Amino acid sequence: MRGDLVIGIDSSTTATKAIAFDRGGRIVAEGRAAVPLSNPKPGWFEQDVDDWTGAMTKSLKQLTRRIDAKRIAAVAISNQRESFAQFDSKDRALRPGTLWLDERAHQEVKDVTAELGADVFHRISGKPADMTPCLYRCRWLSTHMPKVWNKTAKTAEVHGVLTHNLTGQWATSLSSADPMGLLDVKACDWSDTLLKAARLTRTQLPSLFRPGDIMGEVTADAARRTGLKAGTPVVAGGGDGQCAGTGANIFAKGRAYV
């Protein structure tokens, strides 16, 4: 590692935190910025994509004002799960992102379950048939907002959005992609069966990386905005729940966290 610090970026539902840790796991510096949430209709919960990226930028800028960016060896992201957004062919957000607590896709859960069977969905994705996975809101958007859906070149969850903002690459962690309900958990790859149900194609989704793998490097533009050094590796992280388990050190047999 070229530096003695690593940065963890936690983009949660209400705020984004950026924390620099030394080799002993001690906090050296941190930054924080709020992420506003909107509730435009009953059961609808959304956030502007610019607020996701803007909060990350602000928190990193606060942090890099307190430390020498040359000390930073790598950056990794944890994120609120099951929240995602759509982008056009020029990487512009087409509408606000829909969040994990959004409740608009009642009918789509019924429709997909009737088409696939709840057992098939569970066998492929490891998840129950409910409104939380992104698959059902993809169906809702394709039905109720076809103009947006037809312009969609990329669909990405928060980890993928933030990775693109830092590296210019559409890439994400398997751990963060998994909650979308589009992944074949045994193959560790997008499921063609579930993509068809969501009315998506592989080309509309980020590339997948295992947690700990380098997905790309901080671009010159991202360096200017955040205070990070251009070329800093951006490493695949994971969903906030999975990262919480890792932070709780539940690797030994018999350990659990609530």
Taking a C-beta distance cutoff of 8 angstroms, is the pair 99, 47 a contact?
A: yes
The length of the chain in residues reads 258
Domains and CATH numbers, the chain: 5-247 (3.30.420.40)
Bridge partners, residue 47, by sequence: 97
Instruction: Please state the rounded mean pLDDT for residues 136-144.
Output: 98
Taking only the tens place, the pLDDT of each residue in 94-129 is: 999 999 999 999 999 999 999 999 999 999 999 999
Distance CA 154, CA 166 (A): 17
The whole model's pTM is what? 0.94
Cβ count within 10 A of residue 122: 13
Q: Tell which phi-psi region holds residue 245, choosing left (phi > 0), alpha (psi between -120 and 50) or beta.
A: alpha
Our measurement of the distance from residue 80's CA atom to the centroid of its chain's CA atoms, rounded to an integer in Å, reads 7
Give yes or no for residue 1 having a pLDDT over 60: no
Taking only the tens place, the pLDDT of each residue in 154-206 is: 999 999 999 999 999 999 999 999 999 999 999 999 999 999 999 999 999 99
- Mean of the per-residue pLDDT values of the chain: 95
pLDDT of residue 65: 97
pLDDT of residue 256: 74
pLDDT of residue 258: 66
**How much of the chain is helix, strand and coil, in % rounded to 5?**
40, 25, 35
Taking only the tens place, the pLDDT of each residue in 43-77 is: 999 999 999 999 999 999 999 999 999 999 999 99
Query: 33 or 1: which carries more pLDDT confidence?
Result: 33
Candidates 39, 227, 240; CA nearest to 158 is 240
Taking only the tens place, the pLDDT of each residue in 68-101 is: 999 999 999 998 989 999 999 999 999 999 999 9
Give yes or no for residue 16 having a pLDDT over 70: yes
Angle at 86 between CA 169 and CA 49, to 5 degrees: 80
Taking a C-beta distance cutoff of 8 angstroms, is the pair 23, 38 a contact?
A: no
CA gyration radius, the chain: 18
> What distances in angstroms separate CA 32 from CA 12, 17, 57, 197, one per listed residue?
11, 4, 10, 38
